[in-house]
Structure 1
Amino acid sequence: MRRAAEAIEEGVAIALAAARLQVKNRILIDTIAQDDDFDHSAFLPYAKDSLLALASEQERASEAVRTQRAKAWGRHSDPHGTHDYRDRDVRNLRKRAKQYAGVAKKLRGLAEDEDTLQNLVEAARDAAWHDVESTLERRLQIEAMRPDDDPDYDIMREARMQALRLVDLQTLASDTKKRQQAREAQSEAG
């Protein structure tokens, strides 16, 4: 019984991590991509929906294992693959179905718990902020780096110079030519 409870708790922990990731991504999309302000309460319904969706997924997994168990019962031949279950697998399949159902039940309970939802959104917000912070930090290090701080400066210098000649200077020349033509056309019209 203890092992089943541990398996359920582990499944819940994994599901909570998945829900936190889903909420974190929603926070990043809504606050950065859509330029919205962070409103803690706006993400509570999404957190609840994430937990309920994960609970439904666990229920479907439980039902699939029950179906596999029914097919395996009474079959005593050698299996033809990993998921080709036999009668000797019935006991483990029953345990697995109960564990999936247990995780689903726990997740449904957590989805109704206001404190859990608050904590989930807060943890997701912290994770989102950490992602933004890391990205800004990397960007600032790259933008502010001086040649003598970059150990790969000499190695990459030739590639950067070639890109400057082949891409940047060509683009600059093309843009300058277009602006010159536009000025000439404007002065002819005026």
Structure 2
Amino acid sequence: MTRDDPDRAADPSPLERAVDEGFLIIRAAAVVSVANTVIRRALQEHLPFDDEVATAAARDELRRLEAEQRDGVGRLRSLRRRTHRAYGQSRHQFDYRVDDIDALRLREATHKELAARIARSARDDAFVAALVSAARSRAWDDVGSTVVDRLGWAAAPSPDYDDGRDERIRTLLDVDLAALGAADGATTDGGGGV
């Protein structure tokens, strides 16, 4: 096989690296997608977390991502075969020429391997369960952070909180608690209390 052969196999070392890196990105995208489903169901539909729904969402997202990779294989195969006959200098970054065939072959092989790996992962119950668990944690972190951010202003004291604090505590003890104690004494002395 020569360098110009459109069906020559890609070098396995860069291919393995590209597939591993691509799969990490795909897994992260699937986690975000499933987490968004969990959040939407909780906030918009007021539904609790449902493992079966999240698992179905994970498998659906993996199927969608697999199809996306398979579409990439076909698109790159067609582009690579047209490029095989394109000589001369490129006019722009998407004007591929004979010198680009190896890079296009690697991209095509990467898409093909990613599609196969995604398909295997979608059938792997342990992988899907781990994906759902990661999505649930991410959803909880996202929602929890939002709640904390929104409530944070209410929980944080104002910058001048310490000004007059001693006077407020004295008033609480001398006036408010004394009045409460007097009211409690009146109810326990036959004043019609509970």
TM-score (norm 2): 0.74
Q: 1:23 to 1:73 in 2, by over 3 A?
A: same
The residue that corresponds to 1:83 in the other structure is 94
Structure with the greater alpha carbon radius of gyration: 2
Among 25, 42, 53, the alignment partner of 1:14 is 25
TM-superposed deviation, 1:74: 2.2
* 1:10-89 aligned within 5 A: 10-89=21-100
Tell me the distance in 2 between the aligned counterparts of 1:122 and 1:133.
Answer: 16
Q: How many angstroms does 1:88 deviate by?
A: 1.1
Residue 92, structure 1, aligned to residue 90, structure 2:
no
Structure with greater helix percent: 1
Residue 55 of structure 1 and its aligned partner are, at CA, apart by 0.7
Runs (4+) of structure 1 exceeding 6 A deviation are none
Partner letter of residue 133 of structure 2?
A: E
After TM superposition, the structure 1 = structure 2 runs for residues 105-144 of structure 1, keeping only pairs within 5 Å, are: 105-144=116-155
Question: For 2:159, what is the secondary structure of its paired residue?
Answer: helix
Task: Identify unmatched segments of 5+ residues in structure 2.
Answer: 1-11, 162-194
CA RMSD of aligned residues (A): 1.5
The 2-side partners of 1:108 and 1:114 are apart by: 12
Q: Deviations over 1:30-60 (max 9, x none)?
A: 1221011111122111100101100110111
Cα distance, 1:78–1:149 mapped onto 2, change above 3 Å: farther
Q: Percent identity?
A: 29
Deviations 1:15-40 (A, max 9, x none): 01001000000000112210111111
Quick one: distance in 2 between partners of 1:133 and 1:46? 22
Deviation string, structure 1 residues 144-166 (Cα, Å, up to 9, x no partner):
3333179xxxxxxxxxxxxxxxx
Structure 1 counterpart of 2:59, one-letter code = K
Matches of 2:149 and 2:93 in 1, distance apart? 44
Can you give the 5+ residue segments of structure 1 that lack an aligned partner in the other structure? 151-190
Distance 1:28 1:92 in 2: 40
